[in-house]
């Protein structure tokens, strides 16, 4: 069973999809089941790498206590924040050479944020 906001990736073509409506079916791409992206947590942080989304005040999220590299071969693809009830989200897609930061538009009380590193996967930061 899928759950709202879960992310799945095709291991053949690299497509990433997010679940908007929970269901019992299997997600398939390129005639293969998609793999659910497992969330890395703070205690798994790698030495020398900063992946945890950090809330800076009420209006900004940055990736890591020091900026994550944003090179073409190693970068953050997106940052997404969400409310505790998963009814409100904001997302920003990033490109290499862009700062790994997101300015929040809504005045929601966001509970956490995900970021996706093209090499190290999906990471969670909680408020």
Residue 32's DSSP bridge partners are 29
- Please report, for the domain that includes residue 79, its CATH number: 2.60.40.730
For residue 33, give both structure tokens: 């089941």
Structure tokens at 126: 């909680």
Q: What pTM was computed for the model? A: 0.90
**Block mean pLDDT (10 aa), the chain, length 127:** 95 96 94 95 62 89 88 96 94 97 90 94 91
Contacts of 80 (CB under 8 A, 6+ apart): 89, 90, 91, 92, 113, 114, 115
Same domain, 48 and 21: no
Number of structural domains found in the chain = 2
Q: Name the residue range of residue 24's domain.
A: 7-36
Structure token pair of residue 77: 């693809």
């Amino acid at each position: 069973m899928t759950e709202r906001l879960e992310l799945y990736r095709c291991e053949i073509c690299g497509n990433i999809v997010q679940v908007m409506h929970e269901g019992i079916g299997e997600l398939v791409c390129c005639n293969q089941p998609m793999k659910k992206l497992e969330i890395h947590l703070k205690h798994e942080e790698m030495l020398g790498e900063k992946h945890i989304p950090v809330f800076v005040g009420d209006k900004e999220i940055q990736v890591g206590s020091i900026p994550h590299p944003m090179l073409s071969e190693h970068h953050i693809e997106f940052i997404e924040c969400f409310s505790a009830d998963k009814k409100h989200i904001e997302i920003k897609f990033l490109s290499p050479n862009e700062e790994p930061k997101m300015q929040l538009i809504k005045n929601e009380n966001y509970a956490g944020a995900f970021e996706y590193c093209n090499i190290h996967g999906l990471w969670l930061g909680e408020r």
